[in-house]
Every structure is written in C-alpha cells, then in structure tokens.
Amino acid sequence: MIAGRSSGGRGVGAARADPNSTRRSSVGAVQAEPSPQRRRGPWTRAALAGVLAAGLALAAGELFAGSVSGGPSLAVAVGNLVIDLVPEGIKELAIRLFGTNDKLVLITSISVLALVLGGLLGLVAMRRIWVAAAGFAAFGIVGAVAGARSPQLATEHAALAGALAAATGIWALALLTRLGRAPAPAGATAEAMPVNRKGQWSRRGFLQGAVALGAVAAAAAAGGRVLLERARIVAANRTHVVLPSPAEVAATVPAEATVDAPGINPVVTPNDVFYRIDTALVIPHVDLAEWGLRITGMVERPYELSFNELLRLPMVERYITICCVSNEVGGDLIGNAKWLGVPLRTVLEHAGVKRGATQIVGRSVDGFTVGFPTELAFDGREALVAVGMNGEPLPFEHGFPTRIVVAGVYGYVSATKWLSEIELTTLEAFDAYWIPRGWAKQAPIKTQSRIDVPARLTVPAGRQPVAGVAWAQNRGIAKVEVQIDDAPWAEARLARAISKDTWVQWVYDWDARPGEHTLRVRATDATGQTQTAFEAPPPPDGATGYHTRNVRVA
C-alpha cells in the first residue's frame, strides 16, 4: 500500500526536497547550503592571487632592469613595441588626448592590463594551474621579444628578464594557490567533504601570503626604480659637464621682443615647460665615458668624436624655435630656446661629404632615426649639433648629451635626440622612422599663428589685448592680422623678432563690446606667403588653418 510506505522512502509519494532546506552528508552531518557570499570568496581570492602574482612579475622586471641590465624594464619594452606597431591615427589621438603625458598613460595602461590578465589567470589556476603557468610563460616571452628589439637592452638580458618575470609570476601564483587551499578534515575523503569545504580557500593562510608577497612586490618595484635612476644619473653625470664659451654669442633678447599682454607665452621657453614629444618611453641616460658620435656612410673620412672632443670644436649660440609636426592649429607643441652647439656643416666638412649623398640620417642611442636633405646643412640656415639649451647642458629629456637642431623643418625629420650617429646616404636608400608610417619625407615648417590672449572664455567690455605668437622659421614673419567676427582683417602690432628662426609675439588692441565674438588670426611670412585658411590635420606634413577663439564679452 502506498499509505504504508516509510516517510523516508523515495517513492512517487515522497515529498520533493526544499532547495533552501538543509541537507545531510554521507557521514550524517547536517550542513547548510553555502551563502552566495561564501561561494564568491574563493573566486575573489583566486583573482587576487593572480593580480598579486602579475604584480610581483612586473616588480621582478623592474628590479632586474635596475640591478643588472640598466636598460628599460619589460613593461617599458612592451610599450616601445606598442608605439612601433600601433596605427598612426591612434598615436595622433593619444597625443591630442594626453599631450606630453601620453607615455605615462601608455605605461600605466600596460601595467593595468597585465594585472587584469593576471587576475584572469588566477581564476584559471583554481582548476588548471598548468594553464595559468603557461599564460605567465607567454607573458615572459612577449616581454623578452619586446626587450630584444630595444638597442638599450642586450638580447641575453631581455631573455633573462622575460624568464625571471615568468618564473616569478608562476611561483607566486602557485604559492598563493597552495596557501589558500584548506586541508581536508582528518579521516575524510574529498568526496565526503561538505560541498563548501571541498577545495575551499583558507582565508588566513591566503591573506598572510598575499600581504607578504604584496610587500615584496612593492619593495622590489621601488628598489628597481631607485637602482635604475641612480645608475642612470651616475652614468650620465650631467651635473659635472662644463659647457665651453661660444665663439659666437647670441645677442641678448631685447625688451622690444615682448609685447604687453599678460598671459602670453614667454618669448624664450624655460626648459622645465618645453614640450617633449618622442618615441622613448624611458629617457635614455647616456654614459659619457662610453658615448661617441660617429660620422659614417658616404663620407671620405669616417670618424668618431668623444664628448670632450665635441666640446673642443668651435661653438655658436643660436635662438631657434622648434615644433612638432603633431602640433594642431593653435597647439602648444612648440618652443623657443637658446641652443649651444657646433654647426652641423663643420662636423660634416671634417668628414668630407661624397658627391651624391643627398640625405643626412641621425640615429639615437635608442635606435630612433630621422632623415633630411643634405643641402639643409649647407644652405645657410641654422643647423646645429647642440649640447646646450638655455645656458645649461641639454636636459636628459631633451637629448643629453647631444642632439640635432635644424631651423625650418619639423622635428620628426630633423631633431635626433640622444644622438649617436650621423650617416650620409641618399634619399632613395633609406626611410627614417616616421616615413613608412605615413608621414612625408620632407617637411618644411608651415607659416602659423596662435592666439594666447584672451585665455578666458569671458572678458569684460572695453579695451582688451588680443595677443599671441607667429612663426615661419628660416623665413621670418612679416605681418600678423586679426579678424573679429566678419569684420575686415586688421593688422596687429609685431614685437621685435629675435631672428628669422624664432617665433615673434604680436598684439592687437580690441575694443570689446558685449556679446559673443569669434577671433581669428593669420600670419604672412617674409616671402609674402600668407598662411592658408584650409583646415588640415597634422598628417602627413603639418596642420593648416586659422586659429580661432570664441569669446563672450560681458
């Protein structure tokens, strides 16, 4: 009879179990279902284990770079590889969004991505530790390959750094995984364990290991960075460099070179605010005892100069404004400085340039290259192998110990920082770094102008200065004009130019009346060419268009 079945039977009349009720284990113990919070605990700790393991791997790379290689860490090497491989549009977008902080953003992004991937591998390690280990090994291989591409890192050092980082990450993940596992109760089989304890992570053991490894990672990263910076500073020894007196001294900047317009950029840009755009994620710090400038290629007498030999050559001082081709209309990737250096022509004449050598290639210690026509060193423009900037040795970030400065062409085809070699070749035989990436092979600086004042969106009514700078290096500025709304163009007052190779300040006295107004500026160079109104982006050879500001007069 159905009515006679035991209440413990499993017949069709048995009641279904409530999924929220307690359940009985095989050993008779009553165990509550684990709460969602307890179920999430092991997964959270597994992800954290992966993050800590990845962080320790990155820290090991920093420590290796600081104590052994003296070159870039693996994270920086990967960043350099990213810079080389990403499309030019993305690079331009990064410069527009982040300006001179683009490299910091890239390194931070790479580090964060590595930590996120480490967290994912930590989750994988809960079930397949060997798969997670393979993931860390892959990270090490990527870092080693990127490091081997860097001229500042020996191939064997890159391989060692990659292996060290991978091994450190695998060891840390395995350790945290083992520490997090709670041992089974005595006498119980794995199948007999309650569900919430099978494979459960021990909070205390895990937290102790996590704190210890986190402290080790922080100490290793900090120690590596300190060692690396100390080694570089000691090697460069820039503070002990005494610049020679120039054979030709630049004239003092006259008071007439500055207009009366509070807020305008200074006519000479201080070193600490001078723009920096280059491909180096880590600023090279060159050991002067090992550095030499080689003159090679299509020359009669190849030779090499030590830094002291370079300093003994006749030096000249020149004010030259340089700018980046990535500068948008109205942008700030431009600066004016007093440069001290040897005329490039002098350096080349000593080597004897062969007939047919149509291109000068500059090479940096980090492998970066530029190229420009040989005639630019001999056509009378200012072209220097510079060692000084605004009265002091070149700052590290601006090319110490030496760089090339050429008036009238954008930096990407001329401004080799951390210069190590000047090669004579032909325009057809070699394309420098940026040329295969879609930029023009020859890039004279375009006539441009910029509004600095008013800097605010709202100004009071009455007499207001509209002021800024204009530039057309190697030609000079003849005229600057301002347009208010749709009124006729009106000529601004020019300050006295330091030279044709520098920007010049200008000011226009505006009778500002209440309302919304649009201000425009345009410049005309000394050849009579007025800058074009056609709006074009920086690629492939520099931006064009009028700088415009919308202002409200209250």
The domains of the chain, with CATH numbers, are 38-183+197-235 (no CATH), 255-437 (3.90.420.10), 448-553 (2.60.40.650)
CA distance 223 to 454: 47
* Predicted structure pTM score: 0.72
CA distances from 452 to 62, 266, 352, 400 (A): 42, 11, 46, 31
CA distance 334 to 233: 27
Q: What is the greatest pairwise CA distance in the chain?
A: 120
Q: What DSSP state is assigned to residue 315?
A: P
CA distance 121 to 118: 5
- Tell me how far the alpha carbon of residue 88 is from its chain's centroid: 14
Strands (E), 184-310: 293-297, 303-305
CA distance 435 to 438: 6
Q: What DSSP state is assigned to residue 461?
A: S
Residue pLDDT tens, the chain, 554 long = 334 433 343 333 333 444 444 444 444 444 444 555 444 557 888 888 888 888 888 888 777 766 555 567 778 888 888 888 888 788 788 878 887 788 788 888 888 988 899 889 989 988 888 999 999 999 889 988 888 887 766 777 778 888 888 888 898 888 887 776 645 444 444 343 333 344 445 666 666 666 666 666 666 666 656 656 655 564 567 888 999 999 999 989 999 999 999 999 999 999 999 999 998 877 787 888 889 999 999 999 999 999 999 999 999 999 999 999 999 999 999 999 999 999 999 999 999 999 999 999 999 999 999 999 999 999 999 999 999 999 999 998 999 999 999 999 999 999 999 999 999 999 999 999 999 999 999 999 999 999 999 998 899 999 999 999 999 999 999 999 999 999 999 999 999 999 999 999 999 999 999 999 999 999 999 999 999 999 999 999 999 999 999 999 99
